[in-house]
Amino acid sequence: MKYVIAAAALLGLCIQAHAATATRGGFGQLADGTKVEAVTLSNGAGMSAKIMTLGATLQSLIVPDKAGHKEDVVLGYDTAQEYLSRPDYFGASVGRYANRIAKGKFSLDGKTYTLVTNDGPNHLHGGTKGFDKRMWKIDSVSSGPDAKVVLSYVSADGEEGYPGELKVTATYSLNDRNELKLEYRATTSKPTVLNLTNHSYFNLSGNDARDVMGDMVTLHAARFTPVNATLIPTGERKAVSGTVFDFQTAHRVGDRIRDARDQQIRFGRGYDHNFIVDGNAGTLRPAARVEDPVSGRVLEISITAPGIQFYTGNFLDGTYFGKGQRAYRQGDAICLEPGVFPDSPNHPDFPTSRLNPGQTYMNTIVYKFGTK
């Protein structure tokens, strides 16, 4: 009997040691009084992720460095209201269509749809009030080997000009192997187009201590989609080899970012391009790796989407003050946004962004952290 109890206690300890926990709490309120909730997922390996209901946003992500120091590796704000007032999509779930749609126009089954143009001549990140600015609902919160939160949002037929009522869920889960998994799912009542992604700004130095120019980046992509001056794909799928877009082996971000001989760098003010991830879309496969040689933090991203937007925070100009009153400046972060290609609704030969009733849209992203 004694042994049985001892064995049971040991088993209990083991289970506990491998459990990740989800804790529900508040994250203040918006100027109009709307209360914002947050769920913190924590594991036994020192990582924790805070997700808030406004925008199903990854508000903070604490990750240990090689010495075990736990610091925040994503940009953001200290208060929920700032996420609404300052449009940089920090950590947000972006939709209905992440990235750009040329001139805010597309057609589906012979009907033309007109969306707001909120980025020069183009539509960007779902419009004036995209999913990043909506209140999501917490459907469930659970602890266990995977600490998990499921958030949902119902986008009305015609919202921001898009057809169909869209029911969306975002599921964040964290395990003890330092993998934060994010799954977007959606169904629609009418044929529509969509591209859901997460817009986290990673800065692996911790608490935005340094810019990301020294980070080593690998992108598992032999080709990318060049853009015009307004960052709309030209339609070409260009080989990266021999260009400043070749990250097939690790390169410092800053090494070639000022190479203005490449018109694409001029158009993007640096990197702001969709890379075509090698392998089969729909299969979870490695897309990118980022390493900060100073802190030793390493981030590996696996995705199911066909592409990933690599953006180096080129529009951050120091006017926005983020967490801890840090001014965010150009080159302070790396965004890696998995999705279909920009402007897909206007490029019939790009992987489709169309969703029909009866189908389920899926986009899975795994962010795995480690140290070197």
Q: Is 69 a catalytic residue?
A: no
User: Which residues sit at the interface with ligand GLA, rule CB under 6 A?
Assistant: 88-89, 99, 124, 231, 272, 309, 311, 315, 335, 337
Q: For residues 256 and 270, what is the distance between their CA atoms, to the nearest angstrom? A: 9
Q: How far is the CB of 111 from ligand GLA (least distance, A)?
A: 27
Nearer to ligand GLA by C-beta: 150 or 335? Answer: 335
Nearer to ligand GLA by C-beta: 22 or 335? Answer: 335
Q: How far is the CB of 269 from ligand GLA (least distance, A)?
A: 9
**Sign of the dihedral through C-alpha 34, 183, 75, 17:** positive
Helix/strand/coil for 143: coil
Q: For residues 130 and 144, what is the distance between their CA atoms, to the nearest angstrom? A: 32
Q: Is 199 a catalytic residue?
A: yes
Nearer to ligand GLA by C-beta: 130 or 163? Answer: 130
Please report where in the chains the tokens 């890379």 appear, as a residue. Answer: 275
Q: How far is the CB of 329 from ligand GLA (least distance, A)?
A: 14
Q: For residues 173 and 271, what is the distance between their CA atoms, to the nearest angstrom? A: 29
The catalytically annotated residue of 199, 220, 273, 347 is: 199
Q: Report which secondary-structure segment, H or E, holds 302.
A: strand 297-303
Nearer to ligand GLA by C-beta: 119 or 176? Answer: 119
Chain centroid to CA 146: 20
Q: How far is the CB of 110 from ligand GLA (least distance, A)?
A: 30
Angle 108-362-299 (CA atoms, 0-180°, nearest 5)? Answer: 125
**Secondary structure of 54-123 in HEC code, one letter for each residue:** ECCEEEEEEEECCCCCEEECECCCCCHHHHHHCCCCCCEEECCECCEEHHHEEEECCEEEECCCCECCEE
Q: For residues 184 and 92, what is the distance between their CA atoms, to the nearest angstrom? A: 12
Nearer to ligand GLA by C-beta: 89 or 172? Answer: 89
Catalytic residues: 199, 337
